[in-house]
Amino acid sequence: MTTTVEEASVDRIEEAEFCSRVETFLETHCNRIGEDQEMVGAEDADVIARMKTFQGSLVEAGLAALSYPAEFGGAGLTKRHQELFDQASKGWHLPNSALSISHGMCLPMLSQFGTDEQKSIFMPDCISGATIWCQLFSEPGAGSDVAGLATRATRDGDQWILRGQKVWTSGAHYADYGLIVARTDPALPKHQGLSMFIVDMRDPAVEVRPLRQISGGTGFNEVFFTDTQIPADWLLGGLNQGWNLAVAMLMFERVSIGAGGGAMNANRAPGLIRLAQDLGRSEDPLTRQALADLWIRERIRGFIGQRIRSAVQAGNVPGPEGSIAKLNGAVIARAIRDATMDLVGVTGQAWATDTDGGDRWAVGCLSASGISIAGGTDEVQRNIIGERVLGLPKEPDPYKGAAWETVPRN
């Protein structure tokens, strides 16, 4: 099928009009990257409320969940529109960071694996920000080895009974719902006896305990489930298909960390170059080399993102390219930390006022290392790349094929 000059011209006009609408919205509702930005903490109910209000404005403008069907709360447009929005919003701070897991990880899972009933019930409120979602994977005894998790879900009539503990759950303290992976058949090998469920985080049988981080924040949590009841029709995907869903969700997470939109993946090299110029450091050869390396890494991130978007546009779940993006994103985070702290010096370690940006530099520095852990450690990403891209042999597993309940655990 060929495209006529007239059709191509119409497409360009429509794209230009859409981009103009996006720019107008951003200028009205957002700040540039580097201007005042709100961070979500344990007690910031007012910040959460403002983020929900912003998301509501995005929905009213027809700019939320652009490629998701209108019948489930989306804008009903195309992935090309989402790509144009992401390009236009680079350099802008969208004040909806509390929804990054909701929209970057949980929403695509609901869309891809949910029943029509589940989509109708949960997707519209997820898109509008009326509900916030979290991901519940890691456990005290199952971090990098997520498949070794011990949280149990037992069928009891028309519901499932959930018992166990999760840890390092981002945003659990303000989440309304979560996607949890639990063991539904301990007699099967560890990868085969898992299922994914939707869980109500507001249930009294769910206890959330914030964890204090080195940065002073409490964005991560321990979550305890004590005979928590889950409706049978809140099973996502098929029974004992949880590992396949977990892998898909982890890839969405890695893409979000390594090549997603928003402030997390905004290019920082231009701002650091200006900072170096302002501080009289732009002619220092070591500074120039560090900033050039960062600029190159961020350009590479853009190319990886283009490849991932092409795969998604073709209807595919991100594969090992998600691990490449995530690993590169972790390297970039550390490079930004090192370059920034070298430039700002003691201002990023001890500051006298709230106006010199020292607290922001310090939090960014202390948080950078966490990017190497979230969504799977750098070592896990290298293993995935080695096995699935380079074709290297897998690490030996002496318990492969053995029932989970027979495998020794600490």
- Compute φ and ψ for 356, nearest 5 degrees: -95, 0
Pairwise CA distance, residues 380 & 394, whole Å:
12
Distances (CA, A) of 114 to 105, 233, 249, 252, 408: 13, 10, 13, 16, 34
Pairwise CA distance, residues 232 & 230, whole Å:
6
E runs forming strands in 336-382: none
Torsion-angle region of residue 229: left (phi > 0), alpha (psi -120 to 50) or beta?
Answer: beta
Pairwise CA distance, residues 275 & 217, whole Å:
27
Pairwise CA distance, residues 196 & 106, whole Å:
12
Instruction: Specify the 3-state DSSP secondary structure of 166.
Output: strand
Other C-beta atoms lying within 10 Å of the C-beta of residue 27: 10
Long-range contacts of 46-51 (CB under 8 A, 24+ apart): 47/98, 48/98, 48/132, 48/174, 50/95, 51/95, 51/96, 51/97, 51/98, 51/99, 51/129
Q: Are 61 and 85 in contact (CB under 8 A)?
A: no
Residues 6+ apart with CB under 8 A from 296: none
Pairwise CA distance, residues 397 & 168, whole Å:
26
Planar angle of CA 366, 295, 321, nearest 5 degrees: 80
Long-range contacts of 73-77 (CB under 8 A, 24+ apart): 73/123, 73/124, 73/125, 73/126, 73/127, 73/128, 74/123, 74/127
Residue 305: closest CA among 278, 290, 324, 279: 324
Other C-beta atoms lying within 10 Å of the C-beta of residue 332: 23
- Out of 139, 253, 298, 321, pick the active-site residue: 253
Q: b vs e for 62-78, b when ≥16 Cβ sit within 10 Å of the residue's Cβ?
A: bbbbbbbeeebbbbebe
The kind and range of the H/E element at 196 are: strand 194-200
Active site residue 253: yes
**Active site positions, annotated:** 253
